[in-house]
Amino acid sequence: MTETRLERIAVALDTDDRDTYSDWCRLFGPRVGVLKVGPRVVLRWGRDAVREAAATGADVFLDMKFHDIPSTVAGAVGAAKELDVTYLTVHAGGGRRMLEAAAEEAGDEVRVLGITVLTHLGADDLRDLDLPGEAGDRVLSWARSAKAAGCAGVVCSPLELATLRARLGPELLLVSPGIRFDSVAVADDQRRVASPSAALRAGADLLVIGRPLTQAPDPEAALAALAEACE
């Protein structure tokens, strides 16, 4: 049993089953710094589910990845503020004015994170989208744009962490999904991945981990292994 709260871990609570959601809140909420809720949860069970996560004492990360015109995104950020979430996401590719509107509406109450290139996308996907260059180059330019617009941080894959930390300084929050453990195999759509310790060494402030914890045969053991990796 892990006693200390793993402050730099955000558990992604991606499930379609209400009881499982509550079980995960009870299991992970007291053990990690952050619980992440996304569209699967919010569209089914709404604000009550977000409040349930917050009641565990963990910070809440509302991962709805807003991408719309600036006034609509600002309105959504305003609604999120009423839920007392600590982090929320917007797509950095939404452009400077959209990012500025989100950051301005968030003020000091919520940390806006700009999503850069999603971790399931590889070079072939980017070519398919007619986006030239390597994923890393696009991540850097979108992260720069998010920082300049006043976002608190960005979401990137573990492979871009070291470059972003070196190029964009110590203040910008770097949040990384795409975390995988050798010990837990998951059926997977993620492609740009690394281990927890590698991602922390490369400069991550927060690791987003879903299936390697939630689908682990023994989540307690997975948390204990993670605690060692985070030391």
In 6-110, the DSSP E strands lie at 6-12, 32-37, 59-66, 87-91
What is the closest distance, in whole angstroms, from the C-beta atom of residue 210 to ligand C5P in the complex? 3
Query: Could you list the residues that contact ligand C5P (CB under 6 A)?
Result: 12, 14, 38, 63, 115, 118-119, 155, 177, 190, 208-212
CA atoms within 13 A on the CB side of 107: 7
Closest CA to 148 of 102, 115, 100: 100
Instruction: Provide the minimum distance between the beta carbon of 121 and ligand C5P in the complex, in angstroms, as a whole number.
Output: 9
36 in active site: no
Between 106 and 192, name the residue whose CB sits nearer to ligand C5P: 192
> Nearer to ligand C5P by C-beta: 56 or 119?
119
Nearest residue (beta carbon) to ligand C5P: 210
User: Minimum Å distance from CB 178 to ligand C5P?
Assistant: 6
3-class SS of residue 121:
coil
Least distance to ligand C5P from the beta carbon of 189, Å? Answer: 7
State which residue, 136 or 210, has the beta carbon closest to ligand C5P: 210
Cβ atoms within 10 Å, residue 17: 10
Residue nearer to ligand C5P on the CB measure, 99 or 118: 118
Q: Active-site residue among 36, 65, 81, 147? A: 65
Residue 12 or 102 having the CB closest to ligand C5P:
12
Burial tier of 171 (Cβ tally within 10 Å: 0-12, 13-18, 19+): exposed
Cβ contacts of 178 within 8 Å, gap of 6 or more:
119, 157, 158, 159, 190, 191, 192, 193, 194
Q: What H or E segment, with its residue span, contains residue 98?
A: helix 96-106
Smallest separation, CB 104 to ligand C5P (Å) = 23
For residue 188, is it left (φ>0), alpha (ψ between -120 and 50) or beta?
Answer: beta
β-bridge mates for residue 207, sequence order: 9, 176
- Catalytic residue annotation: 65
